[in-house]
Amino acid sequence: MPVELSPATASLAGGAPEGAADLLRQMWRIRLFENTVMDLFTRGLVRGSTHLCQGQEAVSVGACAALRPSDTMTCTYRGHGAVIAKGAPLDACFGEILGRAGGLCGGKGGSMHLTDVSVGALGSNAIVGAHLPISVGAALTSSYHGRGDVSVAIFGDGATNIGAFHESLNMASVWRLPVVFLIENNQYGEYSPLRSTTPIDRLADRAAGYGMPGEYVDGNDVVAVHAVMEAAVARARVGQGPTLIEADTYRQVGHSRSDPATYRPAGELDRWLARDPITLLSDAMRAGGAHPPPEDVEREAAAEVDAALRRAMDMPEPDPASRLRDVYGAAA
């Protein structure tokens, strides 16, 4: 069974709305950040692994644009885009991946653990599904203190087969917690196509088992993602409980490191590249004569990413004396 493409991008067919330049800028910042990380990795400057998100930018950008700064977000090891979209500074993200002292976690977490609590990015998690209960906990905290903040967990299609997914949805629904569960369905879990691990076509259907709305959205249409997220966040904020959203998208690169992704059927990547989220929004902006034009937005984002990388490259290595600081259970 071939992987089906998402239906035509319905919201963008009507042209790009106001605010489109900001969404495009954020997607370009993430795309260029990821391309740069790939380059740094091949130059041997990144220790450990990397899991990049080129092609998936519309999901985290559309989602985080629907949040306020005090709302919280958790994500996976493929989380550079989500953490940037939630507001973490580019230079500190680069610094973390390069293992520098000025990185988000002092250079001790690396690519899979970007975290910036100051912007509500509560953590990237390398264990599949581990962060869903964390978002449920953040939602419980918000609810207990009457803060009105919403928490969002962004996770992969593969995570919907993990026990913590089912436990989290169940508890969040029973307690009507202000949380949004957002599936970034990129069609694969590592090297396995979704259909080989999952017996249903629409992951959003799983919401029915937990008595919450299940929404499907074209995850390459940033405006559509934003709209469905805004509705889910609004429900959560007024105490109507959680929503499960499935955003259909595609990872344009391999699972991690230098995975050439040769397991993908011929033509599949090209079909998805034709629906690249950045191209879709840029075309809609051009058609509507948007100002600034998409080319200017790309140029500004490129300059910003370059400058951030230069600052990160100038950051010092962590001080060896700090090696036991922040380590759980270590003597002070």
Ligand X SMILES: Cc1ncc(C[n+]2csc(CCOP(=O)(O)OP(=O)(O)O)c2C)c(N)n1
**Strand, coil or helix: 224:** helix
Q: Is 160 in the site for Mg ion (CB under 5 A)?
A: no
How many chain residues are in contact with Mg ion, going by CB under 5 A?
A: 4
Tell me the number of residues near ligand X by CB under 6 A.
14
- Could you say which of 75, 82, 159, 171 contacts ligand X (CB under 6 A)? 159
Q: E strands of the chain, at which residues?
A: 72-76, 121-125, 151-156, 179-185, 188-189, 192-193, 214-218, 243-248
Tokens 């029973």 locate to: 174
Give dist(CA 94, CA 33) in Å, integer: 8
Binding mask 186-205 for ligand X (x = CB under 6 A): x-xxx---------------
Q: Applying CB under 5 A, does 36 fall inside the site for Mg ion?
A: no
* Residue 76 binds to ligand X (criterion: CB under 6 A): yes
Residue 129 is a binding residue for Mg ion (CB under 5 A): no
Under a CB-based contact definition with an 8 Å cutoff, are residues 130 and 163 in contact? no
Please check whether residue 187 is in contact with residue 193, taking contact to mean a CB–CB distance below 8 angstroms: yes
CA distances from 303 to 60, 85, 110 (A): 22, 18, 24
Partner that binds at residue 78, options ligand X, Mg ion, none, CB closer than 5 to 8 Å by kind = ligand X
Q: Name the residue number minimizing CB distance to Mg ion.
A: 156
CB of 78 vs ligand X, minimal distance in Å: 4
- Closest distance to ligand X from the beta carbon of 219 (Å): 12
Nearer to ligand X among residue 186 and residue 282 (C-beta): 186
Residue 78 near ligand X by CB under 6 A: yes
186 binds Mg ion (CB under 5 A): yes
Alpha carbon of 95 to those of 42, 54, 114, 153, 313: distances in Å? 17, 20, 10, 24, 7
Among 79, 103, 137, 158, binds ligand X (CB under 6 A): 158
* CB closer to ligand X, 235 vs 255: 255
The answer to whether 59 contacts ligand X (rule: CB under 6 A) is: no
Residues 188-207 within binding reach of Mg ion (CB under 5 A): 189
Helix (H, G, I), strand (E, B) or coil at 17: coil
Sequence-separated (6 or more) residues with CB below 8 Å from residue 246: 183, 185, 202, 203, 204, 214, 215, 216, 217
- 184 half-sphere exposure, CB direction, 13 A CA radius: 30
Residue 156 within binding range of Mg ion, rule CB under 5 A: yes
Least distance to ligand X, CB of residue 73, Å: 15
Binding-site ranges for ligand X (CB under 6 A): 76, 78, 126-128, 156-159, 186, 188-190, 255
